[in-house]
């Protein structure tokens, strides 16, 4: 087992990883930018190393400084958390070369999934259901027109280097195709240095349902059921829940099996997530595979009573998984609390937290790094806490969430708590009747 793990991240996920390491008797090294010198992850870790100034590119993305921090502290593994370097194949490879275990996917697995058109091709070969579309990349807008006629409008063109919605256009009729193709390709070229595009039939009003998987170094892959992440705004998830209110035992079985096939296709090692689009007929299609621990992992942990960070560390250390699948025994909801003003287009609201009272009680979990007097820096993600509630039924989990959010007091900055309080009373949400289009017609003032 590892003796010391360096955590190449900040905020709540750094704390989350430190907690599991402590339980496992593993020493921890925090790294931090000068903006984070007073952060809890720095205080809670056994050792801490400053890796640069506030901008991410100079600190949490600064590979030479992170490797140097690892070498001077003698850490034998790096946990990258989510975001930052968690899906950076170059970093995964550099760790390998330095004999540091990267607690995440191999460079090959990251590259195989990072190119979306290539990932889809791999999934088609593995018989994972995919949206009908172009066979690989598009040569030009003319070729795209021909394929669009075959599959029928609306279609969606996507950047192969994209993900999270950038370099993506919906096309409703042929007249619009060439223009959208050029602008999306240019956007992708500027953002990712790769303008290559592929095309799919556009699935209208889908649900975003993802399956958690785990694979070990010996070729075994299992699934840990689903999370419904359909409530999102501009590709930022706001709330997640498990089980999905749209799920049936049959669909879970079929999606779980497809996710396992996806994992087996790349000999997946570690914990990962296979994202699917699910249409109103419960047809599901592979969308992307994430080769990292995700923000929303706690809801899965709570409904199957399973520490996913511990599992990541055990798998990386070469411990075999049991190989059995896991099914939800409870209902769990996560609300992401951001330092943003929900009444003002979710505009970021960094600054000093003057007063803080966090909720507690039965069935409530808070994953957060904030404290009274903490200053939220403007340089990073605006998430300041995750409120997770769990209960025997969805109705109870929602009631607990309303109760917990009502107790949550954050003064000094604006937060998305009022949004979540309103969401928990929304008629459609209460019925479980929502898709990825939900936020387009949501009005906080109603």
Q: What's the min distance (Å) between Cβ of 411 and ligand MV4?
A: 32
For ligand MV4, which is the closer residue by CB, 164 or 406? 164
Q: Which stretch binds ligand MV4 (CB under 6 A): 185-193, 194-202, 371-379, 401-409?
A: 194-202
Q: What is the DSSP letter of 296?
A: T
> Rounded distance, CA 441 to CA 446, Å?
11
Which of 277, 364, 391, 401 lies at the binding interface for ligand MV4 (CB under 6 A)? 277
Tell me how far the alpha carbon of residue 261 is from its chain's centroid: 20
DSSP-based three-state secondary structure for 169: strand
Tell me how far the alpha carbon of residue 177 is from its chain's centroid: 31
For ligand MV4, which is the closer residue by CB, 94 or 131? 131
Side-chain-facing half-sphere of 5: CA atoms under 13 Å:
32
Q: What's the min distance (Å) between Cβ of 201 and ligand MV4?
A: 6
Q: Which stretch binds ligand MV4 (CB under 6 A): 16-24, 48-56, 117-125, 199-207?
A: 199-207
For ligand MV4, which is the closer residue by CB, 284 or 408? 284
> Rounded distance, CA 191 to CA 104, Å?
25
Q: What's the min distance (Å) between Cβ of 207 and ligand MV4?
A: 8
Q: What's the min distance (Å) between Cβ of 83 and ligand MV4?
A: 16
Region of 94 on the Ramachandran plot (φ > 0 left; ψ -120 to 50 alpha; else beta): alpha
As beta bridge partners, residue 171 has: 155
> Please, which of residues 216-255 interact with ligand MV4 by CB under 6 A?
232, 235
DSSP-based three-state secondary structure for 163: strand
Tokens of 18: 């430190």
> Please, which of residues 139-178 interact with ligand MV4 by CB under 6 A?
156, 163-165
What binding mask, one character per residue, do residues 421-440 give for ligand MV4 by CB under 6 A, x or -? ---------------x----
Q: What's the min distance (Å) between Cβ of 208 and ligand MV4?
A: 4
**Phi, then psi, of 309 in degrees rounded to 5:** -70, -40
Alpha carbon distances (Å) from 160 to 110, 166, 263, 270, 328: 14, 10, 20, 24, 34
What binding mask, one character per residue, do residues 36-75 give for ligand MV4 by CB under 6 A, x or -? ----------------------------------------
What binding mask, one character per residue, do residues 123-142 give for ligand MV4 by CB under 6 A, x or -? --------x-----------
> Is 292 tagged catalytic?
yes
Q: Which of 62, 41, 42 is nearest to 52 (CA)?
A: 62
Q: What's the min distance (Å) between Cβ of 334 and ligand MV4?
A: 16
Side-chain-facing half-sphere of 75: CA atoms under 13 Å:
31
Q: Does residue 202 touch ligand MV4 according to CB under 6 A?
A: yes
For ligand MV4, which is the closer residue by CB, 276 or 374? 276
For ligand MV4, which is the closer residue by CB, 102 or 442? 442
> Rounded distance, CA 180 to CA 167, Å?
10
For ligand MV4, which is the closer residue by CB, 200 or 226? 200
Which helix H or strand E contains 156, and what residues bound it? strand 155-163
Q: Which stretch binds ligand MV4 (CB under 6 A): 144-152, 195-203, 291-299, 406-414?
A: 195-203
Count of residues of this chain found to bind ligand MV4 when the rule CB under 6 A is applied: 17
Q: What's the min distance (Å) between Cβ of 130 and ligand MV4?
A: 9
The active-site residue out of 16, 227, 292, 365 is 292
Q: Does residue 211 touch ligand MV4 according to CB under 6 A?
A: no
Which of 288, 301, 302, 340 lies at the binding interface for ligand MV4 (CB under 6 A)? 288
Residue with tokens 């007073």: 38
117 CB neighbour count, 10 Å cutoff: 22
**How do strand 47-52 and strand 27-33 relate by DSSP bridges?**
parallel
Tokens of 87: 């899906």
Tokens of 354: 């003057």
Active site residues: 292
* Interface ranges with ligand MV4 (CB under 6 A): 131, 156, 163-165, 200-203, 206, 208, 232, 235, 277, 287-288, 436
């Amino acid at each position: 087992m590892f003796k010391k793990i360096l955590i190449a991240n900040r905020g709540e996920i750094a704390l989350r990883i430190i907690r599991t390491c402590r339980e496992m008797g593993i020493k921890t090294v925090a790294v931090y930018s000068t903006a984070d010198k007073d952060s809890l992850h720095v205080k809670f870790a056994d050792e801490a190393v400053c890796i640069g100034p506030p901008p991410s590119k100079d600190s949490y993305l600064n590979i030479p400084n992170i490797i140097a921090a690892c070498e001077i502290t003698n850490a034998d593994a790096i946990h990258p958390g989510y975001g930052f370097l968690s899906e950076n194949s170059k970093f995964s490879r550099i760790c390998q070369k330095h004999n540091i275990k990267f607690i995440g996917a191999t460079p090959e697995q990251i590259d195989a999934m990072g190119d979306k058109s290539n990932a889809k091709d791999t999934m088609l070969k593995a018989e994972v259901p995919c949206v009908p579309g172009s066979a690989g990349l598009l040569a030009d807008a003319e070729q795209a027109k021909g394929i669009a006629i075959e599959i029928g409008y609306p279609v969606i063109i996507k950047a192969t280097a994209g993900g999270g919605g950038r370099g993506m256009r919906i096309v409703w009729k042929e007249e619009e195709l060439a223009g959208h193709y050029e602008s999306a390709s240019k956007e992708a070229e500027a953002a990712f240095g790769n303008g290559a595009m592929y095309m799919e039939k556009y699935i209208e009003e889908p649900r975003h349902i993802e399956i958690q998987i785990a694979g070990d170094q010996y070729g075994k892959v299992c699934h840990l059921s689903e999370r419904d992440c359909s409530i999102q705004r501009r590709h930022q998830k706001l709330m997640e829940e498990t089980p999905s209110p749209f799920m049936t035992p049959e669909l879970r079985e079929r999606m779980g099996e497809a996710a396992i096939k996806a994992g087996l296709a790349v000999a997946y090692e570690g914990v990962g997530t296979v994202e699917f689009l699910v249409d109103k007929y419960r047809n599901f299609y592979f969308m992307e595979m994430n080769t990292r621990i995700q923000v929303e992992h706690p809801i899965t942990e709570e409904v199957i009573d399973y520490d996913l960070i511990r599992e990541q560390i055990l798998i990386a250390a070469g411990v075999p998984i049991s190989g059995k699948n896991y099914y939800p025994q409870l209902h769990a909801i996560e609300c992401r609390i951001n330092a943003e003003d929900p009444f003002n287009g979710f505009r970021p609201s960094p600054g000093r937290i003057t007063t803080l009272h966090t909720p507690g009680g039965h069935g409530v979990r808070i994953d957060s790094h904030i404290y009274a007097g903490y200053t939220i820096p403007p340089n990073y993600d605006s998430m300041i806490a995750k409120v997770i509630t769990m209960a025997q039924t969805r109705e109870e989990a929602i009631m607990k969430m309303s109760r917990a959010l009502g107790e949550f007091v954050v003064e000094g900055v604006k937060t998305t708590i009022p949004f979540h309080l309103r969401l928990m009373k929304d008629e459609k949400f209460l019925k479980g009747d929502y898709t990825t289009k939900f936020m387009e017609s949501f009005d906080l003032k109603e």
